[in-house]
Structure 1
Amino acid sequence: MATLIDWLKNINHRFWWIIGGLTVLFIASLIFVTHNAMFYQQPIAQIVKITDETQTEVADEHQNQDIVYTQHIVAKLKNGVQKGKALTLTNEYSESRAYHPKLTVGQDVFVSVDSNDSGQLKGDITDVKRDQALLIVSWIFIMVLLAVGKKQGLYAMISLAVNAVIITLAIDMYIATSNISLLLIMSGAVILITVLSLVFISGFQAQTYAAAVSTLLGTFVLLFITMFVLWLTDEQGIRFEEMAFLSRPPQAIFMAGVLIGALGAVMDIGVSMSTSLFSLYEQNNAISNKDLKASGIEIGKDIMGAMTNILFFAYVSGTIPSLLLYLMNDATVGFTFSMNLSLELTRALAGGIGIVLTIPIGLYTTIYFIHRKRVKA
């Protein structure tokens, strides 16, 4: 017991100040999102009672069976001129929960309000208010990131927020100015994201420059290779039908997705190569370029397979619902896979090319910067 007390006393007081501050922020933000209905223009109602729930078995022409539940709900408005008044709602959800969720007492929902001939309020549910759940998940992510990464975790969190803002602004710019290609806008965003992320996390040092150069070279080389292959094959086998609802050229949008999707994996390879080789140099300044190359190749072999698999599963996993939807409605396997996997597999293959190419690019780029550091030393 005494040992535990001594250990707690020796912990930096700043650590406890940070933990205390984050705890206060968490509680304050949770209270805010629980009582922030006044800041929404759309009516919000809290479910106070579920009066009845019926169920009906249904089946479609392909004999896919499901159960549809109908909930009759009494809710109380939390904002607007009719705040505090009760209204009746109806919610339908299926056993599969494919569209509407099952609602419970105490949940907040977005509604559209109407009144009947007797003056009683009724309405329709448009969406579920999920900011509490999103806040809790976000705080868990922040706490884990700070606990594991500490100061670097904080930098990574800020960098992630900045990158999200950059991508959002890039998309808004494309929507506002339709005469500029999305691929061109995203190319600028990729350069900005790479430089800001690496400099912010690692600072202005030689290994940061090596990682940034190798990341940008690997990303744009894979982009040009993908564009060349699609041009050479006249885009045969690529199904752009899933983007048919867009009023913009799907090819440019697809290539912009390839660029952004591969950036994370390529950046990870570039950073891993740069950090590992510079660590070897710092431990032994007399290490030869031959040994650095041999070590870099081994490092690349170790991370190449894992990163390629991660990229493949990340892309393909998003198509599972669409695959099930097609197959359950008697679509053929060939048609289902060609419609849903052609774009995702192309993105995964393009990212894999970028990962493989970034290994030698990162290797020789890092050795170049190490050589410069040797000369200055």
Structure 2
Amino acid sequence: MNVLMCLAAILFLLMVGIGGKKGARSYMALFFNFGVLFLTILFMSNPSANPIILTLMACTVISCINLFYINKVNLKTVTAFLSTIITIVILLFLIFIITDKAMIQGFGEEELEELSIFSPYVGVDFVKVGASMIIMSTIGAIIDVAISITSPMREIYHHNPTISRKNLFFSGLSIGRDILGTSANTLFFAFFGGYMALLIWYKDLSYSVGQIVNSKIFSVEIITILCAGIGVALIIPITSWITAYFLVKNRDI
């Protein structure tokens, strides 16, 4: 516990020292996001609850926290919020279909030993829970890309207020292309960093490449990475178009 408190204090000091008031709000947002996720999981344990609806609600609240609470309400956060919600809705339907067809819901055989003492009849639709898990894993990257595009686009418009909507849109796409590669690699390395012990275990058990690829745990993480990459790619044109539309619209009014 002392280590956790020390690390939390160091993080707080760094975020406040570097980010000032916005850094302090960002630090508090970590706890707010944790509270939203915790409440979402509690509500999902109710058999009558719909995990998809809960996920949409949680993503909306998380987006509000990370955009409006940290950066306040302005044109760039509003457009980033709209882009995030539209992308999440599109991605959620795609992920639900993939989860159902790929049959990656539930637990893998590597987890059976730890779960053997528990009852598997929990009364929860694991297809919807699997889709919710993947979308929750991608929400952070999607919000990050959205605000990373709207902010420089607003600066471009501020310094060149006569720019056309088409040129502003293509400027957003150009910014997004630079972000796309790094965001996809971040998701990729996050997977291997978090599951390095699992990969070592696969090696010790002499798993073949085919067994690793067809392992449910491995498949879930790879599908999560691919879906997150799809979400990051989708939000670039969506954010660019919405931001360009509203910036030029406000100028023409």
Q: Please give the TM-score of this superposition, normalised by the length of structure 1.
A: 0.61
Greater helix content: 2
The match for 1:289 is 165
The match for 1:318 is 194
In 1: Cα distance, 2:233 partner to 2:7 partner: 34
* Deviations, residues 60-100 of structure 1 (Å, cap 9, x unaligned): xxxxxxxxxxxxxxxxxxxxxxxxxxxxxxxxxxxxxxxxx
Decide which of 214, 221, 229 is 1:352's aligned counterpart: 229
The match for 1:114 is none
1:77-88 alignment, distance < 5 Å: none
Is the 8 Å Cα contact of residues 44 and 54 (structure 2) preserved in structure 1? yes
Q: Which secondary structure state, in structure 1, belongs to the residue aligned with residue 29 of structure 2? A: helix
Is the 8 Å Cα contact of residues 79 and 239 (structure 2) preserved in structure 1? yes
1:294-309 alignment, distance < 5 Å: 294-309=170-185
The match for 1:257 is 133
Does 2:23 match 1:146?
A: no
Gaps of 5+ in 1: 1-130
The match for 2:2 is 132
Shift of 1:239: 6.9
In 1: Cα distance, 2:49 partner to 2:90 partner: 22
Decide which of 107, 114, 119 is 1:241's aligned counterpart: 107
Higher relative contact order (CA 8 A, sep 6+): 2
**Length, aligned pairs only:** 242
In 1: Cα distance, 2:107 partner to 2:65 partner: 36
In 2: Cα distance, 1:195 partner to 1:337 partner: 37
Is the 8 Å Cα contact of residues 164 and 248 (structure 2) preserved in structure 1? no
In 1: Cα distance, 2:98 partner to 2:55 partner: 20
1:211-222 alignment, distance < 5 Å: 211-222=80-91
Q: Which secondary structure state, in structure 1, belongs to the residue aligned with residue 102 of structure 2? A: coil
Return structure 1 stretches of 4+ with deviation > 6 angstroms: none
Distance change >3 Å, CA 241–CA 197, structure 1 → 2: closer
* Deviations, residues 295-315 of structure 1 (Å, cap 9, x unaligned): 112101100010011112212
Distance change >3 Å, CA 351–CA 213, structure 1 → 2: same
Does 2:238 match 1:368?
A: no
Q: Which secondary structure state, in structure 1, belongs to the residue aligned with residue 128 of structure 2? A: helix
Shift of 1:212: 0.2
Is the 8 Å Cα contact of residues 153 and 243 (structure 2) preserved in structure 1? yes
The match for 1:39 is none
Q: Please give the TM-score of this superposition, normalised by the length of structure 2.
A: 0.88
Decide which of 144, 154, 169 is 2:39's aligned counterpart: 169
1:81-160 alignment, distance < 5 Å: 131-160=1-30
Does 2:72 match 1:200?
A: no
Distance change >3 Å, CA 239–CA 319, structure 1 → 2: farther
Q: Which secondary structure state, in structure 2, belongs to the residue aligned with residue 251 of structure 1? A: helix
In 1: Cα distance, 2:99 partner to 2:32 partner: 32
Question: What percentage of aligned pairs have identical amino acids?
Answer: 26
The match for 1:34 is none
The match for 2:153 is 277
In 1: Cα distance, 2:99 partner to 2:130 partner: 11
Q: Which structure has the bigger radius of gyration?
A: 1
The match for 1:25 is none
* Deviations, residues 173-217 of structure 1 (Å, cap 9, x unaligned): 222x22112232122111111123211122221111101001111
Distance change >3 Å, CA 239–CA 219, structure 1 → 2: closer
In 2: Cα distance, 1:172 partner to 1:290 partner: 46
* Deviations, residues 30-52 of structure 1 (Å, cap 9, x unaligned): xxxxxxxxxxxxxxxxxxxxxxx
In 2: Cα distance, 1:331 partner to 1:185 partner: 37
Decide which of 195, 213, 223 is 2:92's aligned counterpart: 223
Is the 8 Å Cα contact of residues 165 and 245 (structure 2) preserved in structure 1? no
The match for 1:13 is none
1:55-94 alignment, distance < 5 Å: none
Indicate the larger mover: 241-250 or 275-284: 241-250
Is the 8 Å Cα contact of residues 316 and 341 (structure 1) preserved in structure 2? no
RMSD: 1.9
